[in-house]
Amino acid sequence: MAQYVLQLCHGYDAPFADVARQYASLFKGRNFRVITVFLTGKSNPEVIAEVDSDEVLFLENTSKELRGLKRKQVHQVKQLHARYGFKLILAHRYKAVFISCHIKQVPVVGIHHAFGDYQRFMRRWFVYQHKNRLALLGVSNAIRDDLRRSLVYFPEDRIQTLYNRINVEQLEASHLAKNTARAKLGIAQDRYVFANVGRLHPDKDQKTLIDAFARIAEQMPNACLVIIGKGRLERVLKEQVKQLGLQSRVLLPGTVKNARRFFTAFDCFVLSSDYEPFGMVLLEAIAANVPVLATSVGGASEIITDPQYLFDVGDAKRLSELMRDFYQMDADSINKLKENNYRWMMQNFTDDAVYKTFWSYTFIQQFLNTGNNKAV
């Protein structure tokens, strides 16, 4: 008889629908049924298809309702437990961990996607109260280490890493041909394209990227910079481009639906973030056979293993040098770099690779081998 696993998610805004798919896939081929529950967000058939769980439920709370003690949400999840009798709960982000720990006797694996989740004393106090049936996963070693520094009295062997990952075969099948992707984005076919995809936000620091490109634009006459995304810095960045006189060389097309299908249009992807818990876009670029540059922060340095292709946050001079090097690099060197990146991705950041890691953790076996969990 199949046993039930609850996957409790805050919402399904990108990239969290795919994150839910990633964790549901961990139980494929095993005697478990995964019930994925979104605390916020309206019922959406596209999300149901994407997360690929045995069942998907939408509790349709508002963000405002998730403040405070969350009594309503605790009651909702208790009702679900009364129906299914969950063997294990996967809880994404702290609010889901808080709610899940109110379901007595059920082990909880909290998954953390950001730095600083346990800076607050009351959060630390709460997880210490439940540490005997709680484990925590960071989506990178950087997040794992941040959790360990914050929770010094929590068992270290139950704070581990489980990388974000991609379905490489599915992603590759979705890619547009290079000329098609460029045509749809309005990019000339003979351009050398540097690119960045993400929110136009201080955390992503596209200002430094534009500064770096401006330093070397004259040395790269057929190069352009494409920054895909929307956000509060859009006007600031467009004004920066105007002041630099680069309107014809720096393109800001706004939001592009299913942007990762268009990565084939790029010659080099640049992640300029000053805050990056993991760096999923780097994997998406590598899967599209695009070489990558990134700041040496957070999880990015775990995806790019060669330090010569990392630069310090805000270092426009060093970034401009790296961009120029990529522009001038011969085809054999570029191909070797792509091959190394792709090999590393396949070894560490695919569904199959992470599946093996998840089931190797002793606490997963201990949690699932406990006695029958009773509904409350």
Q: What is the CATH architecture assignment of 168-348? A: 3-Layer(aba) Sandwich (3.40)
Output the CA torsion sign for 308, 312, 318, 320: positive
Beta-carbon contacts of 305 under 8 Å, excluding residues fewer than 6 positions away, are 340, 344
pLDDT the model gives residue 15:
86
pLDDT single digits (tens) 106-141: 999 999 999 999 999 999 999 999 999 999 999 999
pLDDT < 70: residue spans in the chain: 371-376
CA distance 307 to 294: 10
Residue 374 is predicted with a pLDDT of 46
pLDDT score recorded for residue 335: 96
Is 131 strand, coil or helix?
helix
pLDDT at 195: 98
pLDDT at site 317: 98
pLDDT of residue 305: 84
- Are the C-beta atoms of residues 300 and 279 closer than 8 Å to each other? yes
CATH annotation of 3-164+351-368: 3.40.50.2000
**The token pair that represents 123 in the structure block:** 């959060």
pLDDT in tens, 51-107: 999 999 999 999 999 998 999 999 999 999 999 999 999 999 999 999 999 999 999
Nearest to 226 by CA among 243, 204, 209: 209
Give Cβ neighbours of residue 11 (< 8 Å, ≥ 6 apart). Answer: 38, 39, 40, 41
CATH topology match: 3-164+351-368 vs 168-348: yes
Q: What share of the chain is helix, strand, coil (3-state, %, to 5)?
A: 50, 20, 35
What 3-state DSSP class applies to 86?
Answer: strand
Q: Which of 178, 204, 167 is nearest to 287 (CA)?
A: 167
- CA dist 316 to 123, 211, 215, 322, 327, Å? 38, 6, 8, 10, 16
Domain boundaries, the chain: 3-164+351-368, 168-348
pLDDT of the residue at 235: 96
- At a CB cut-off of 8 Å and minimum separation 6, what does 85 contact? 4, 372, 373, 374, 375
Rounded Cα distance between 213 and 210, Å, is 5
